[in-house]
Amino acid sequence: MLQQLIQQAFASFKTKQCWTAFGLAFVTSLLLIFALSLMFSTEEKYAAAEFLPQQAEFASNEVVENFDSPEITEPEDNHIHVVKISSGDTLLKVLTRVGLSYSEANKVFLATKKVFNPKDLRVGQKFEIETELTDNGLVVKSLDSTIRTGQYLHVALNDNDTYSAKLSKDELIEELKSVSGKVNGTLSLAMNRNGVPNRITANFISIFSQGVNFRRDLKKGDSYEIVYENYLTPDGKTVKHGNIVYAALNLGKNKMELYRFKDSTGHIDYYTPKGLTLKKNTLSRRPMAYQSNRISSYFGPRRHPIYKDKRVHWGVDYPAPKGSAIYAGGDGTVEVAQYKSGYGNYVRIRHNGEYSTAYGHMNGFAKGIRAGSKVKQGQVIGYVGSTGRSTGPHLHYEVIRNGKRVNPLTIKATASQNLQGKNLSNFKREMAKLNSTRQKMLAAKNKEEKLAQKPATKL
Ligand SMILES: [Zn+2]
């Protein structure tokens, strides 16, 4: 039976038509296979070109060439590339763009990161990158960039193929700058017109703020003079402004002059030529938000409400609702802010070498009030309470003068720090020195202005 079947099949194949059909089918399938294999291979190539950069960024130099960048320079043996950072650039991108392999670029990047925060990269920042083609591929010989005026980044290749980065700064030159002029409108406008930086103008106004009402006192035709510190790079670029060392206002017949001075305790302030401060820094007698005339206990001997015997009351008690604000009695530094037995929650502020104030029975301290914090007069330091030995919510307020508690209601407690003794003589000496510098600067300026006004000489 099997033999019969084979014979039949053989017979049918013998016909010419069938052979042609078979052959055609064979050739077609061959072509199909070839075409398919070709298609798959091109697909693979596409995949390589499109996805590789994202999967492994800048894995090879070929990939970098795909980037549309005008800064690409063909690597030569030795080449200096000047690259300007544009938006979206990273240092790594820049380094690979000049032709570095990813791993080499990363070596430079990691060394740089040690001294320069990559986040500080500015659009427009210039990099000068010297590359060199070595047996190990392209390397950076040196990289230089100005981080900001007067501050430089320098990366160099070491002998052992590592990179080291360092920052350097220009030695800044300090000079005094003198500006003066008439006021015709607002003071800030007048100063702005003469090139005084805004921050310096704001400081000038703040220095006089306790002695001058600028809105009321300043009239047209009044004048000002200011001397402040200016810091320059060796090539003459201003990098920053320092302190105002002299500030003067000519208000009609009233001339006000202030000099900056650091006293023997390190306190810095502005003083009149007589060594007086403009600050009306009188200690508050009732440093709190709740204002009434009530005093529940005065300074001095009294019958104690708890011990029922005669004791000295070392402060003044101001009854007030629990939780109302307590203010610093003057500018100063917090010395104590903690629970202190009978006082309950207690704060002591040192105002100067002479005066301190203390506050007792507080419900709690204001945010940021702790030993060492600086406070301004009127700043909230805590809240009225009844902690410690207290019979009801009130502020117990003490004024301490040279270590002794005194009556807050009778002292003429000026916390102002007019200069005295050695501080005053030092101040006068510094003032005389500055005045002579000022005169020289003014004379030079007048000469300059006269020269500028002179008509051009005939040729
Ligand atoms: Zn008291």
Pair (156, 206) in one structural domain = no
**Residue 334 counted as domain residue:** yes
299 alpha carbon to ligand 1 midpoint, in Å? 8
Pair (161, 181) in one structural domain = no
pLDDT for 368 beyond 60: yes
**Residue 276 counted as domain residue:** no
Pair (315, 266) in one structural domain = no
315 alpha carbon to ligand 1 midpoint, in Å? 6
* Strand-by-strand arrangement of the 380-383 sheet: 325-327, 380-383, 364-365
Higher pLDDT, 45 or 401: 401
459 alpha carbon to ligand 1 midpoint, in Å? 88
Pair (149, 195) in one structural domain = no
Tell me which of 111, 142, 169 is where a domain ends.
169
37 alpha carbon to ligand 1 midpoint, in Å? 98
Query: Mean per-residue pLDDT for 130-134?
Result: 91
344 alpha carbon to ligand 1 midpoint, in Å? 11
User: What pLDDT is recorded for position 27?
Assistant: 54
154 alpha carbon to ligand 1 midpoint, in Å? 65
Cβ proximity of 78 and 131 under 8 Å: yes
CATH classification at residue 385: 2.70.70.10
User: What pLDDT is recorded for position 2?
Assistant: 47
Pair (199, 154) in one structural domain = no
SS (H, E, C) the chain: CHHHHHHHHHHHHCCHHHHHHHHHHHHHHHHHHHHHHHHHHHHHHHHHHHHHHHHCCCCCHHHHHCCCCCCCCCCCCEEEEEEECCCCCCHHHHHHHCCCCHHHHHHHHHHHHCCCCHHHCCCCCEEEEEEEEECCEEEEEEEEEEEECCEEEEEEECCCCCEEEEEEECCCEEEEEEEEEECCCCHHHHHHHCCCCHHHHHHHHHHHCCCCCHHHHCCCCCEEEEEEEEEECCCCCEEEEEEEEEEEEEECCEEEEEEEEECCCCCEEEECCCCCECCCCECCCCCECCCCCCCCECCEEEECCCCCCEEEECCEEEECCCCCEEECCCCEEEEEEEEEHHHEEEEEEECCCCEEEEEEEECEECCCCCCCCEECCCCEEEECECCCCCCCCEEEEEEEECCEEECCCCCCCECCCCCCHHHHHHHHHHHHHHHHHHHHHHHHHHHHHHHHHCCCCCC
338 alpha carbon to ligand 1 midpoint, in Å? 17
pLDDT for 333 beyond 50: yes
Tell me which of 105, 138, 169 is where a domain ends.
169
User: What pLDDT is recorded for position 19?
Assistant: 54
390 alpha carbon to ligand 1 midpoint, in Å? 8
Q: Which among 343, 422, 340, 444 has a CA at the least distance from the CA of 390?
A: 343
Phi, psi of 191 (to 5 degrees): -70, -40
293 alpha carbon to ligand 1 midpoint, in Å? 16
Share of the chain above pLDDT 70, in %: 80
User: Which residues are CB-contacts of 48 (< 8 A; sequence separation ≥ 6)?
Assistant: none
309 alpha carbon to ligand 1 midpoint, in Å? 15
User: What confidence tier does 384 reach under pLDDT thresholds 50, 70, 90?
Assistant: very high
413 alpha carbon to ligand 1 midpoint, in Å? 19
Tell me which of 134, 169, 204 is where a domain ends.
169
- Predicted model pTM: 0.48
User: What pLDDT is recorded for position 58?
Assistant: 33
Query: What tokens appear for 281 in the block?
Result: 């820094």
CATH classification at residue 127: 3.10.450.350
User: What pLDDT is recorded for position 280?
Assistant: 63
343 alpha carbon to ligand 1 midpoint, in Å? 8
Pair (165, 183) in one structural domain = no
Structural domain for 91, as ranges = 67-169
322 alpha carbon to ligand 1 midpoint, in Å? 15
Pair (127, 179) in one structural domain = no
Pair (189, 116) in one structural domain = no
Query: Mean per-residue pLDDT for 341-345?
Result: 95
**Residue 277 counted as domain residue:** no
404-414 pLDDT, tens digit each? 999 888 776 55
Mean model confidence pLDDT for the chain: 81
51-61 pLDDT, tens digit each? 222 233 333 33
360 alpha carbon to ligand 1 midpoint, in Å? 7
Pair (310, 265) in one structural domain = no
**Residue 56 counted as domain residue:** no
397 alpha carbon to ligand 1 midpoint, in Å? 7
pLDDT for 211 beyond 80: no
C-alpha of 216 from chain center:
35
Pair (402, 305) in one structural domain = yes
Task: Output the CA torsion sign for 68, 73, 75, 81.
Answer: negative
Cβ proximity of 157 and 129 under 8 Å: no
Pair (331, 360) in one structural domain = yes
User: What pLDDT is recorded for position 354?
Assistant: 80
351 alpha carbon to ligand 1 midpoint, in Å? 21
291-302 pLDDT, tens digit each? 888 898 889 887
319 alpha carbon to ligand 1 midpoint, in Å? 10
398 alpha carbon to ligand 1 midpoint, in Å? 8
Pair (390, 305) in one structural domain = yes
Total of domains in the chain: 3
Whole-number Å distance between alpha carbons of 415 and 400: 11
pLDDT for 64 beyond 50: no
**Residue 134 counted as domain residue:** yes
pLDDT for 263 beyond 90: no
C-alpha of 229 from chain center:
20
442 alpha carbon to ligand 1 midpoint, in Å? 58
The CA-based dihedral angle spanning residues 54, 55, 58, 64, taken in that order and rounded to the nearest 10 degrees: -50
**Residue 78 counted as domain residue:** yes
Share of the chain above pLDDT 90, in %: 48
**Residue 35 counted as domain residue:** no
318 alpha carbon to ligand 1 midpoint, in Å? 8
Higher pLDDT, 230 or 71: 230
**Residue 254 counted as domain residue:** yes
115 alpha carbon to ligand 1 midpoint, in Å? 57
